[in-house]
Amino acid sequence: MSELFDLTGKKAIITGSSKGIGKSIAKAMALHGAEVVISSRKADVCQETADEINEACKDGPGKAIVIPCNISDKAALEMLVEETRIQLGQIDILVCNAATNPFFGSIKDIPDEAFEKIMNNNIKSNHNLCQMVIPEMVEREDGNIIIVSSIGGMRASQVIGAYNVSKAADIMLVKNYASEFGKFNVRTNCIAPGLIRTDFARALWENPEILKSALTGTPQNRIGEPDELGGAAVFLASAAGSYVNGHTIVVDGGTTV
């Protein structure tokens, strides 16, 4: 059964992987044999994460390297892809996890600059990365793309409305890429986390009223932890998920039900 989840020899880029959900995904993939790229804006934090993963994987084939990148810069994304090819040889798995949400409040009050930043970083950068890696995946007739969306992409919000709009777009982006490139054995899927205890979501889970509302509607009566996301990504990237394409796996403790 373990062979179903074996990622030995696979090369993976995971954006926003120095902490939180991205770190969980990178570590889980490396522990299952993949060579992973730890990438976020700060090289020192990336290196700390890579060192931690390499220590955990010292007796196995998995490993982590560091390639810092600012996802808001298309040239930086191109550098990330090319440097990965130089250091690892190819890209078998792309995980678009990095995202931003610089505004908390009514959608009617969001400044244009903040709205554009959300759309650029949460949708356009994912689309750009997909464009960059798909040609080699199509040529090999093998590849796997995972975009980390959110249950916010399925629901409205009175405080993070623009963010939810961007995450809804990510779900549809996945469906379109899956539809077009599935015939080349390039699978594209989404993971939609609920409220997870990350720095990124701190404004939500540290707010007593929001937390109470979230827990009231969550059958497991707790928020999630970052390490509970890695397994879903390993499933989607491995042979275990070989016939899953264009799907959104919800990891939310039952909130959306």
Q: pLDDT at position 229, please?
A: 96
Which conformational region is residue 33 in: left (phi greater than 0), alpha (psi within -120 to 50 degrees), or beta? Answer: left
For residue range 170-193, list pLDDT tens digits in order. Answer: 999 999 999 999 999 999 999 999
Q: How confident is the model at residue 112 (pLDDT cuts 50, 70, 90)?
A: very high
Q: pLDDT at position 207, please?
A: 76
The yes-or-no verdict on residue 231 having pLDDT over 70 is yes
The mean pLDDT of 86-106, rounded to a whole number, is 96
3-state helix, strand, coil in the chain (%, to 5): 50, 15, 35
CA atoms within 13 A on the CB side of 87: 18
Q: pLDDT at position 65, please?
A: 98
Q: How confident is the model at residue 211 (pLDDT cuts 50, 70, 90)?
A: confident
Q: Which residues are catalytic?
A: 163
Identify the CATH assignment for 2-250 out of 1.10.1530.10, 3.20.20.70, 3.40.50.720, 3.30.565.10: 3.40.50.720
The yes-or-no verdict on residue 1 having pLDDT over 70 is no
Q: pLDDT at position 192, please?
A: 97
The yes-or-no verdict on residue 205 having pLDDT over 80 is no
Q: What is the pTM of this model?
A: 0.94
Is the CA virtual torsion 96, 121, 100, 249 positive or negative? Answer: negative
The mean pLDDT of 140-150, rounded to a whole number, is 98
Q: 73 or 217, which is more confident?
A: 73
Q: pLDDT at position 178, please?
A: 98
Q: pLDDT at position 240, please?
A: 97
Q: pLDDT at position 216, please?
A: 83
> Do the Cβ atoms of 70 and 41 come closer than 8 Å?
yes
- In the predicted model, what is the mean pLDDT of the chain? 95
- In the chain the beta strands, taken as DSSP E runs, fall at 11-15, 35-39, 63-66, 93-96, 143-148, 186-193, 248-251
Q: 159 or 109, which is more confident?
A: 109
Q: How confident is the model at residue 217 (pLDDT cuts 50, 70, 90)?
A: confident
The yes-or-no verdict on residue 36 having pLDDT over 90 is yes
Q: How confident is the model at residue 48 (pLDDT cuts 50, 70, 90)?
A: very high
Q: pLDDT at position 198, please?
A: 82
Q: pLDDT at position 210, please?
A: 77
The yes-or-no verdict on residue 85 having pLDDT over 90 is yes
